[in-house]
Amino acid sequence: MEDGDGSRPDLAYRFPLPEVGDADIPDRGIRRPRVFRRPPARPDASTPRTASQPMQPCGPPQRAQPAGLRRSIRMVRVRSGTDRTSRERLAREAAMVRGSETLHGMFDGSGRALARNGAMRDALGAASGHFLDMFEEEDERRRAAAALRGGSAYRGLGRLRVRAGGPWYRIVGNWRTDPVSGEPALFVEAVPVNELREEAAHYRHLAETDALTGLLSRRAVLERLQELCGDRRARPLSVILADLDHFKRVNDRFGHAAGDRVLTAFARILREALRGDDLCGRLGGEEFLLVLPRTGPEAAAGVARRICGWLRTHLAAAADIPGDPLTASFGVSAFAAGDGDPRAALERADRALYRAKAAGRGRVEVEAAGPTRR
Distances in whole angstroms, Cα of residue 185 to Cα of each of 112, 117, 226, 365: 10, 16, 34, 57
d(CA 281, CA 342): 15
Kind and range of the H or E run holding 185? strand 184-192
Which ranges constitute the DSSP H helices of the chain?
Answer: 9-14, 67-98, 118-124, 138-150, 194-208, 218-229, 247-254, 256-273, 297-310, 316-318, 343-358
Pairing relation of β-strands 328-334 and 364-366?
Answer: parallel
Return the biggest CA–CA distance within the chain. 162
143 C-beta neighbours (distance < 10 Å), count: 16
Axis crossing angle, helix 247-254 with helix 256-273, rounded to the nearest 10: 140
170 C-beta neighbours (distance < 10 Å), count: 16
Residue closest to 111 by CA, chosen among 145, 66, 157 = 145
Q: Name the active-site residue from 140, 189, 286, 365.
A: 286
Q: How many Å separate Cα 77 from the centre of its chain?
A: 43
Per this entry, what is the length of the chain?
374
3-state SS assignment for residue 107: strand
Catalytic residue list contains 189: no
Residue 225 in contact with residue 293, Cβ under 8 Å? no
Cis peptide before 167 (omega within 30 of 0): no
Residue 108 in contact with residue 178, Cβ under 8 Å? yes
Residue closest to 315 by CA, chosen among 364, 244, 249 = 244
3-state SS assignment for residue 172: strand
d(CA 146, CA 324): 55
**Which residues are marked as active site?**
286
